Amino acid sequence: MIVYHGSDTVVDRPLILKAKRPLDFGGGFYVTSNKDQADSWATKVAYRNASREKSVNVYDFDYESAKRDLIVLHFDKADERWLDFICSNRQMRCSEDYDIVIGPVADDRVYRVVVEYENGDIDKATALKNLKTEKLCDQILFHTERSLSYIKYIETEVSRYERA
């Protein structure tokens, strides 16, 4: 499976990074199977770091072998189990029980629903109903050093980034 990582630099040797801020699935190395999503992430990173370039790094992910050899948590949709997991990680109570986590990404629209739920502004049923209306891209977190051996770097597509 081809996957992508958005950045402002070439990442030919991915690293497991500890989360410095709340992230959907906790710390590690994030990719997506959606190239447009990776490009969006690259734009955000380039903006945040005041970079002049953005990079979409491309990898081959041996998903079938990873499923067989590692502990993989896979969320097919933004359901109650996914919401509970996201909320736990956003409170920096990250689970260390998985090598790889796969599931929908909580983009800006989804994040608003999650925050409303966490703040008690809406109940879980309303949050789940609101999440069903969103078309979500996927994200894949490589959470352990061992998991990184299941992705192989292919190339990086670099483009100029100009602040608007």
Over pLDDT 90: what percentage of the chain? 58
Higher pLDDT, 68 or 78: 68
Residue spans per domain, the chain: 4-160
> For the residues 19-24, what does the mean pLDDT come to?
70
**Predicted local distance difference test score (pLDDT) of residue 55:** 97
pLDDT bucket at 108, cuts 50 / 70 / 90: low
- Amino acid 39: pLDDT: 94
Strand partners, 158: 55
What is the pLDDT at residue 102? 96
For residues 27 and 25, give the distance between their C-alpha atoms in angstroms, rounded to a whole number.
7
